[in-house]
């Protein structure tokens, strides 16, 4: 057989040397039966790996998420912004006759001039012959709407400190003038104790007799306050959010804070857009901007309660156009593209009510504010806003599988099914590269042609004469004699180990455990070793002694093999891992019973001993030759 025929193929060489499990077993299989068995086993393993790999890749590119929810406790929480609105845009007594005529499309659904209003029963005043000057509806709302001056907000307390209208920030909403407490995020108030006495308490006079709203002309039908608890970054969107508070009772508004962290695409749908009129992207801000853009596009003006740079809408515009456009937005006919923010803070509220005021509080209010009980029942709204508990919930949207987990899972499946790693992939690449080089080499190198037709074999040659043997070489010089080595030491050792898991023996005296040993010679020594947990405790100073015995007798040659644990701290329960070790001479050959025992120390009370608690304990016996 030629050398080329004897050389292994690259495939056989790769299969015999690769770290991929199973391939080398095919090469070295002792028979075809085992070779077929290994082929089938390898095909099954690779099929399982292919299935698991495809499943993991499909799971990864499905971009699934999981939700991580945690309840976090803290010593203090930032107090939210609290916005209040009266369900009445204009106070009746503040409006003059000419102003009523200007506002009739907004308040009554149609335009009425001053003579018509007088015919309807309105009283004449000094503006009967006047006209509206250069003033906007926004200015009308500010001058003639709800306020929180001292005559309307009779009481206001933050914790135990008083507050006034100076602690509130004015804003325009669907309900007209609204006021926000704690609106400055750079100077946020903090609640450090739970309960309603540690939050905000306010008493507001809504003046129900001055309501100018009419449900059938586009206004409200209710009386009371609208209250919204929100983050300082969110503008109040009072027509769709908040809770309604009726007069005549004390509303206790408990607040819970939730922090959301959403994931960006493709795992989530969150996106923080750049808004035109607000610095921070929030859903209410986006919805308000969206409404404003639809109103400006359809009505060519912007109402006082929406942001925008278009001219202000007059009452007629709001009555005939703005309300219709907002109705189309709310119904979904006009779309708003407002994705979920990637981070946001939301406040949920729970409301309970109590009668207000009690007898003595009523008497004090009548005396101080000159208000009767019936008036307070019809006009007085009292509310307290507070954290029920100093904790908050954090909800995070996380990847169900990230790239690191995918790589870890693939590596685990490669190792489980085919025994491969990243280095194994390098082996496969090296084999494929060598085969590619060999294939390209065969195509570029031509074999020389042999002209078989013209060659004639000659006669066989005569065998040559064998050559003579060579001369022997000369002997080398004799080397020096080496030094005599030190005599070796004959060593003989026999060893045995007895092990116990969680022995936990509470005996205060006597044998703890024993271990049998067959000693080979009477001239050898026996090494006795204990390793394990020891403890002693008592109501006063106590001491325990642990020691070895052989066939019931304590070893005394050359000395006892023992150890003590002393404890002077009453009731202290300290466990220590200890080792007691020594040699015992003059023991006979044959079977021996080696016992590990416990007892009291001399001149000490017998305490509460414990041996081998919550760990492994072992006795090691070793037969050793004694040095001469």
Are the C-beta atoms of residues 513 and 619 closer than 8 Å to each other? yes
> For the chain, give me the number of helices (H) and strands (E)?
14, 24
Question: pTM (2 decimals)?
Answer: 0.63
How far apart are the C-alpha atoms of 343 and 80, rounded to whole Å? 16
Nearest to 396 by CA among 229, 275, 272, 267: 267
Are the C-beta atoms of residues 592 and 516 closer than 8 Å to each other? yes
Query: What angle is formed at CA 346 by the lines to CA 341 and CA 352, rounded to 5 degrees?
Result: 160
Domains and CATH numbers, the chain: 7-60+404-424 (no CATH), 68-91+156-271+339-398 (2.60.470.10), 92-144 (no CATH), 272-338 (1.10.287.820), 493-624 (2.60.120.1340)
How far apart are the C-alpha atoms of 555 and 175, rounded to whole Å? 99
Q: Is residue 12 classed as helix, strand or coil in its secondary structure?
A: helix
Q: Of all helices (H) and strands (E), which one includes residue 187?
A: none
Q: Cβ of 564: how many Cβ atoms within 10 Å?
A: 17
Nearest to 338 by CA among 285, 295, 296, 265: 285
Structure token pair of residue 361: 């509080």
- Compute mean pLDDT per 10 residues along the chain, 628 residues long, and list them: 52 74 79 90 90 92 92 96 96 92 90 91 88 86 93 92 94 96 94 93 94 89 95 94 94 97 91 94 96 96 94 92 94 94 95 88 80 85 95 94 89 86 81 83 54 46 58 60 54 82 92 94 93 90 92 91 89 89 94 95 86 94 87
Nearest to 107 by CA among 18, 4, 210: 210
Residues 6+ apart with CB under 8 A from 512: 503, 505, 546, 595, 596, 597, 598, 611, 612
Partners of 563 in beta bridges: 546
How far apart are the C-alpha atoms of 141 and 18, rounded to whole Å? 85
Phi-psi region of 137 (alpha: psi -120 to 50; beta: other; left: phi over 0): alpha
Partners of 83 in beta bridges: 180, 228
Q: What is the DSSP letter of 376?
A: H
Are the C-beta atoms of residues 180 and 234 closer than 8 Å to each other? no
State how beta strands 380-399 and 249-261 pair: parallel
Query: What angle is formed at CA 316 by the lines to CA 315 and CA 317, rounded to 5 degrees?
Result: 90
pLDDT at position 464, please? Answer: 56
Q: Is residue 414 classed as helix, strand or coil in its secondary structure?
A: helix
* Alpha-carbon distance values, 131 to 101, 128, 134, 509, 564 (Å): 9, 9, 10, 112, 109
| 368 CA to centre of own chain | 54
Q: What is the DSSP letter of 416?
A: H
Are the C-beta atoms of residues 178 and 171 closer than 8 Å to each other? yes
| 120 CA to centre of own chain | 66
Structure token pair of residue 41: 């086993």
* Alpha-carbon distance values, 325 to 241, 297, 336, 531 (Å): 20, 10, 13, 86
**Cα pseudo-dihedral 363, 368, 369, 370, rounded to 10:** 60
* Alpha-carbon distance values, 59 to 396, 403, 408, 412 (Å): 20, 12, 14, 16
Q: Is residue 178 classed as helix, strand or coil in its secondary structure?
A: strand
pLDDT at position 201, please? Answer: 96
Are the C-beta atoms of residues 597 and 512 closer than 8 Å to each other? yes
Strands (E), 487-568: 493-501, 510-519, 525-537, 542-550, 553-554, 562-567
Residues 6+ apart with CB under 8 A from 295: 301, 302, 303, 306, 308, 313, 321, 322, 325, 326
Are the C-beta atoms of residues 539 and 555 closer than 8 Å to each other? no
């Amino acid at each position: 057989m030629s050398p080329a025929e004897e050389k292994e193929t690259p495939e056989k060489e790769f299969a015999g040397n690769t770290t991929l499990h199973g391939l080398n077993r095919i090469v070295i299989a002792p028979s075809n039966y085992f070779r077929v068995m290994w082929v089938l086993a390898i095909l099954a393993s690779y099929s399982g790996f292919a299935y698991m790999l495809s499943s993991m890749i499909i799971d990864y590119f499905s971009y699934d998420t999981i939700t991580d929810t945690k309840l976090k406790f803290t010593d203090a929480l930032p107090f939210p912004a609290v916005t209040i609105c009266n369900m009445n845009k204009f106070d009746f007594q503040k409006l003059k006759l000419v102003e009523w005529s200007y506002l009739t499309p907004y308040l009554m659904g149609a335009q009425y001039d001053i003579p018509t209003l007088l015919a309807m029963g309105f009283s004449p005043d000094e503006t009967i012959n006047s006209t509206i000057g250069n003033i906007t509806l926004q200015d009308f709302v500010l001058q003639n709407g709800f306020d929180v001056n001292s005559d309307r907000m009779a009481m206001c307390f933050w914790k135990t400190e008083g507050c006034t209208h100076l602690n509130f920030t004015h804003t325009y909403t669907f309900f007209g003038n609204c006021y926000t407490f704690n609106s400055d995020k750079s100077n946020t108030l903090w609640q450090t104790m739970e309960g309603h006495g540690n939050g905000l308490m306010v008493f507001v006079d809504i003046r129900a007799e001055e309501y100018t709203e009419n449900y059938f002309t586009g206004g409200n039908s209710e009386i009371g306050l609208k209250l919204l608890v929100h983050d300082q970054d969110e503008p109040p969107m009072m027509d769709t959010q908040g809770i309604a508070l009726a007069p005549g009772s004390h509303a206790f508004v408990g607040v819970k804070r939730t922090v959301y962290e959403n994931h960006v695409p493709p795992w989530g749908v969150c996106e923080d857009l750049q808004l035109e009129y607000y610095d921070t992207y929030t859903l209410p801000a986006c919805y308000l901007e969206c409404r404003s853009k639809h109103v400006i596009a359809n009505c060519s003006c912007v109402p006082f309660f929406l942001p925008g740079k278009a001219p202000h809408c007059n009452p007629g515009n709001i009555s005939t156009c703005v309300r219709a456009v907002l109705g189309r937005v709310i119904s979904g006919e006009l779309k708003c593209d407002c994705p979920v923010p990637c981070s946001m803070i939301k406040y949920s509220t729970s409301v309970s009510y109590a009668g207000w005021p009690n007898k003595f509080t009523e008497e004090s209010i009548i005396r101080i504010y000159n208000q009767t009980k019936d008036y307070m029942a019809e006009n007085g709204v009292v509310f307290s806003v507070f954290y029920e508990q100093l904790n908050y919930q954090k909800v995070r949207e996380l990847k169900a599988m990230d790239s690191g987990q995918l790589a870890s899972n693939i590596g685990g499946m490669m190792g489980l099914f085919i025994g491969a790693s990243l280095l194994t992939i390098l082996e496969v690449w090296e084999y494929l590269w060598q085969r590619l080089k060999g294939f390209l080499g065969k195509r570029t190198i031509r074999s020389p042609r042999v002209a078989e037709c013209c060659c004639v074999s000659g006669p066989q040659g005569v065998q040559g004469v064998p050559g003579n043997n060579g001369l022997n070489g000369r002997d080398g010089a004799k080397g020096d004699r080496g030094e005599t080595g030190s005599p070796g030491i004959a060593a003989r050792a026999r060893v045995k180990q007895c092990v116990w898991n969680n022995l936990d023996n509470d005996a205060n005296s006597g044998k703890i455990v024993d271990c049998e040993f067959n000693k080979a010679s009477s001239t050898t020594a026996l090494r006795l070793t204990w390793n394990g947990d020891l403890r002693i405790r008592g109501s006063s100073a106590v001491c325990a002694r642990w020691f070895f015995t052989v066939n019931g007798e304590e070893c005394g040659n050359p000395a006892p093999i023992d150890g003590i644990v002393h404890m002077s701290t009453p009731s202290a329960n300290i466990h220590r891992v200890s080792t007691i070790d020594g040699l015992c001479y003059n023991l006979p050959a044959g079977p021996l019973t080696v016992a590990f025992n416990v007892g009291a120390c001399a001149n000490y009370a017998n305490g509460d001993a414990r041996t081998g608690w919550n760990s492994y304990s072992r006795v090691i016996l070793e037969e050793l030759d004694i040095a001469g």
